[in-house]
Amino acid sequence: MEGGGNSAETKSRLRQGMSKFLNSLGQSARQKRLDWKIVACGSRNNARDAFLHATQASPQCFNVLLVDSEAPVDRQASPRIHLKQSDGWELGLDIDDDSLHLMIQIMETWIVADPDAVAAYYQKHFLKSAPPQSPES
């Protein structure tokens, strides 16, 4: 998945948070004796590269790519088409559309909607003045 920045600490925190968020899916996989692993890759290009590598290295596994949409998504377009149009990514026909998932644009809005809560969570690692300010703030 995209996210987690470049440090092992922030990637670890993202993995922990996503593990909690997706706990029921992880439990379901483990009950079926399936491996379940969340990998925070940093940049979207790193996430794509890791996904393609994992898919080629372990074609028997169900690998999932999760990246920000970065733009509105046409409801009629598949994630593959969106990623081709927005990033120029050629993912190959061997990649199943069910493996491609896009986070909606509003995710970033949720994150910065309460800068005090984000600042309290990240403490000294969050620069409250860094995110763009709302015209209403």
User: 81 CB contacts (<8 Å, ≥6 apart)?
Assistant: 74
User: 132 CB contacts (<8 Å, ≥6 apart)?
Assistant: 112
Any domain includes 89? yes
How far apart, in whole angstroms, are the C-alpha atoms of residue 99 and residue 79?
Answer: 9
How far apart, in whole angstroms, are the C-alpha atoms of residue 132 and residue 77?
Answer: 29
Q: How many domains does the chain fold into?
A: 1
The percentage of residues in the chain with a pLDDT greater than 70, rounded to a whole number, is 88
pLDDT digits (tens, 9 = 90+) for 27-61: 999 999 998 999 999 999 999 999 999 999 988 89
Average pLDDT over residues 86-94: 90
pLDDT digits (tens, 9 = 90+) for 64-76: 999 999 888 888 8
Q: Helices 23-31 and 8-21: crossing angle, nearest 10°?
A: 80
| Residue 123, pLDDT score | 79
Residue 66 φ then ψ, to 5°:
-125, 115
Any domain includes 73? yes
Any domain includes 61? yes
61: containing domain: 8-104
Any domain includes 132? no
SS3 breakdown of the chain: % helix, strand, coil, rounded to 5? 50, 5, 45
| Residue 67, pLDDT score | 95
Any domain includes 123? no
